[in-house]
Amino acid sequence: MKHFLFFLLAPVLTFGQAFVNDAKQLIDKKEYKKAEQLLSEYVKTNKSDLEAIELYGDAYGHQEKWDDAIVQYKKLVDGKPNNANFHYKYGGALGMKALSVNKMKALGIIGDVKGAFLKAAELDPKHIDARWALVELYMQLPGIIGGSKSKSFQYAKELEALSKVDGYLAKGYIYEYDDEPELAEKYYKLAITEGGSLNCYDKLTDLYEKEKQPDKVIGNLEASGEKHKRNAMHYQIGKVCAEYNIQLDKGEKCLLIYIENYSAEDGVPKAWAYYRLAQIYKFKRNKDDALKWIDKAITSLPQIDIFKTEKTAIQSL
């Protein structure tokens, strides 16, 4: 009898899975609106298909439609209350909602955010993302409504037990947020030594930029470039050199390499590299080359006002 029932239901199951697979593909291609439209009618008539509901919530979340995402993720939590990741997603959507409203409304949401993340961490002792969320939440909340550096450290230690890299990054984050840059630097460097991912290097670069330490920014970018071989690193170095009027020859060389090897994957349009080259030549008092590159920048992206302002400054040399 069971085999007979499965035979009868198989076409329905296959049909439903096709919807889910199509939705996954649309989300992978960042076609979130299409995924939303595809799932909209399906979930109305398939209220127990939690995988489809989760994708529906994801489609809303990627579009920053937090209220709609919350509705779908709440269905997941109610339908499967022992699933840690469902609580994590629900808490995440609530948290983003809290950031999008005024402070008074946010205060009414924070308790649910914290509760969802705590439940996720309780249900899954190895849930790294939930612990990261709690590290950040406890640091960002004022003490009067539950913020706590010690609790943030508690979850950073739990992260370290699961992943040394995440633990070091979490401690670096805590110290950076608490305006202790030397300790933040220490832990970001430990993360680089332990893991060496691009994210580890980027955290240290961001810290140095925040602390206005351009020579350290350049040194860290070069170390990152040696390990990860990214052309984007050349633009980043050139940008720092141009912004701070330091190591101009190195900045010029890096920007020219960036332009020569440019691809869409590098992210920053070539026009910005032209602009940075113009800045470098301006600092070198090379008016002709500065004008040449700023004109190329303006031609490439004529709507960028800062390029025109820079040209005026160059013309006054």
In a domain, 107, yes or no: yes
Number of domains in the chain: 1
Tell me: the pLDDT tens digits for 199-238? 999 999 999 999 999 999 999 999 999 899 999 999 999 9
Predicted local distance difference test score (pLDDT) of residue 39: 87
In a domain, 101, yes or no: yes
Cβ atoms 162, 171 nearer than 8 A: no
Cα-based angle 14, 16, 20 (whole degrees, multiple of 5): 110
Amino acid found at 179: D
Closest-CA residue to 100 (of 129, 131, 71, 67): 67
Cβ atoms 165, 180 nearer than 8 A: no
State mean pLDDT over 142-171.
92
In a domain, 57, yes or no: yes
Cβ atoms 195, 202 nearer than 8 A: no
- DSSP states of the chain as a string? -HHHHHHHHHHHHHHHHHHHHHHHHHHHTT-HHHHHHHHHHHHHH-TT-HHHHHHHHHHHHHTT-HHHHHHHHHHHHHH-TT-HHHHHHHHHHHHHHHHHS-HHHHHHHHHHHHHHHHHHHHH-TT-HHHHHHHHHHHHHS-GGGT--HHHHHHHHHHHHHH-HHHHHHHHHHHHHHTT-HHHHHHHHHHHHHHT--HHHHHHHHHHHHHTT-HHHHHHHHHHHHHHH--THHHHHHHHHHHHHT-SHHHHHHHHHHHHHT--GGG-S-HHHHHHHHHHHHHHTT-HHHHHHHHHHHHHH-TT-HHHHHHHHHHHT-
Contacts of 207 (CB under 8 A, 6+ apart): 172, 176, 181, 184, 185, 188
Domain harbouring 102, CATH code: 1.25.40.10
In a domain, 37, yes or no: yes
Does the structure show a pLDDT above 70 at 167?
yes
State mean pLDDT over 149-154.
95
Q: Name the percent of the chain lying above pLDDT 90.
A: 74
Confidence band (pLDDT; 50, 70, 90) for 15?
very low
In a domain, 41, yes or no: yes
In order of 59, 66, 134, 226, 299, the CA distances from 91 in angstroms are 16, 11, 10, 39, 46
Contacts of 72 (CB under 8 A, 6+ apart): 43, 53, 54, 56, 57, 60
Segments forming the whole domain that contains residue 114: 27-124
In a domain, 82, yes or no: yes
Tell me: the pLDDT tens digits for 102-144? 878 878 888 999 999 999 999 999 999 999 999 999 998 877 6
Confidence band (pLDDT; 50, 70, 90) for 9?
very low
In a domain, 73, yes or no: yes
Predicted local distance difference test score (pLDDT) of residue 89: 95
Tell me: the pLDDT tens digits for 68-92? 999 999 999 999 999 999 999 999 9
Tell me: the pLDDT tens digits for 174-187? 999 999 999 999 99
Predicted local distance difference test score (pLDDT) of residue 1: 41
Q: Which of 29-38, 39-48, 80-89 has the highest mean pLDDT?
A: 80-89
In a domain, 264, yes or no: no
Does the structure show a pLDDT above 90 at 12?
no
